[in-house]
Chains A and B, each alone.
Chain A
Amino acid sequence: GAVVSQHPSRVICKSGTSVKIECRSLDFQATTMFWYRQFPKQSLMLMATSNEGSKATYEQGVEKDKFLINHASLTLSTLTVTSAHPEDSSFYICSPRGDLLWTEAFFGQGTRLTVV
């Protein structure tokens, strides 16, 4: 399978600060990036979809000004949680997808964000 690197794996930040999560596809070009959020003991919830060089499309109920997504290259996408609050504490997972591997979904290792 493809190699996906998501960093950091864990981060603790103070309320009001911003946190950036990086997701890299190391051996394929990710034309599309999916960002998920997972609450404890629950399934993955799609937050947004981004295509390289374009603005992200956010799912209903997801604040685009709070969760900034940048997909400037085919190998890197970032999710920035701005002005973080304790309720933003969660597990975030990226899933890059390439045109040649469209029916294959690969996932990053996830980032556990704790806002204190």
Chain B
Amino acid sequence: AQTVTQSQPEMSVQEAETVTLSCTYDTSENNYYLFWYKQPPSRQMILVIRQEAYKQQNATENRFSVNFQKAAKSFSLKISDSQLGDTAMYFCAFLEGGSEKLVFGKGTKLTVNP
């Protein structure tokens, strides 16, 4: 079964600084998708960024970018110019192509300090 590991339960960063959240996963499949979701205090799950495994180019969405290392099965999220509104739980998630179930990591609680 696929597993997703987030090794950092909590992290903090100063406003305007850069922070990287780590995520590793385990799969024997070649076709899959990876996601980072943000869950702020409101608890609404928000998609931050997504990466298709067949794409070599790392996905980028404004201040959010990923470092996708397929061979190492690593999918880290970099947040640049951190803002107070980035304070949230961040979940890494995996979806196997053809499967229907998202597999979530345990999450990283990120606090952005003023």
**Is A114 interfacial (CB 8 A cutoff)?**
no
A102 partner residues in chain B, CB cutoff 8 A = 100
Q: Mark A residues whose CB is within 8 Å of B.
A: 1, 32, 34, 38, 41-44, 46, 49, 91, 93, 95, 97, 102-107, 109-110, 112
8 Å CB contact of A103 from B33, B42, B105, B109 = B33
Cα A102 to Cα B32 with chains together (Å): 12
Q: Chain B interface residue count: which class?
A: 20 to 34
State which residues 46-97 of B face A: CB under 8 Å. Answer: 47, 50, 52, 91, 93, 95, 97
Cα A110 to Cα B44 with chains together (Å): 7
Interchain residue pairs with CB less than 8 A apart (16): A32-B100, A34-B100, A38-B43, A42-B107, A43-B105, A44-B45, A46-B102, A49-B101, A91-B43, A95-B45, A97-B100, A103-B33, A104-B47, A105-B93, A107-B44, A109-B43
Cα A84 to Cα B26 with chains together (Å): 37
Q: Determine how close the nearest CB of chain A comes to the CB of B21; give it in whole angstroms.
A: 14
A46 partner residues in chain B, CB cutoff 8 A = 101-102
**Is B35 interfacial (CB 8 A cutoff)?**
yes
Top 7 A-B pairs, shortest CB-CB distance: A107-B45, A43-B104, A43-B106, A110-B43, A103-B33, A44-B104, A43-B107
Given contacts A34-B102, A107-B45, A110-B45, 7 further A-B contacts (CB under 8 A): A34-B100, A43-B106, A44-B104, A46-B102, A91-B43, A105-B47, A110-B43
Q: Determine how close the nearest CB of chain A comes to the CB of B46; give it in whole angstroms.
A: 8
Of chain A, the residue at the smallest CB distance from B93 is A105
Of chain A, the residue at the smallest CB distance from B33 is A103
Q: Determine how close the nearest CB of chain A comes to the CB of B77; give it in whole angstroms.
A: 16
B42 partner residues in chain A, CB cutoff 8 A = 109
Of chain A, the residue at the smallest CB distance from B101 is A46
Q: Determine how close the nearest CB of chain B comes to the CB of A104; give it in whole angstroms.
A: 8
Cα A31 to Cα B107 with chains together (Å): 28
Q: Determine how close the nearest CB of chain A comes to the CB of B53; give it in whole angstroms.
A: 11
A44 partner residues in chain B, CB cutoff 8 A = 45, 91, 104
Q: Determine how close the nearest CB of chain B comes to the CB of A102; give it in whole angstroms.
A: 8
A43 partner residues in chain B, CB cutoff 8 A = 91, 104-107
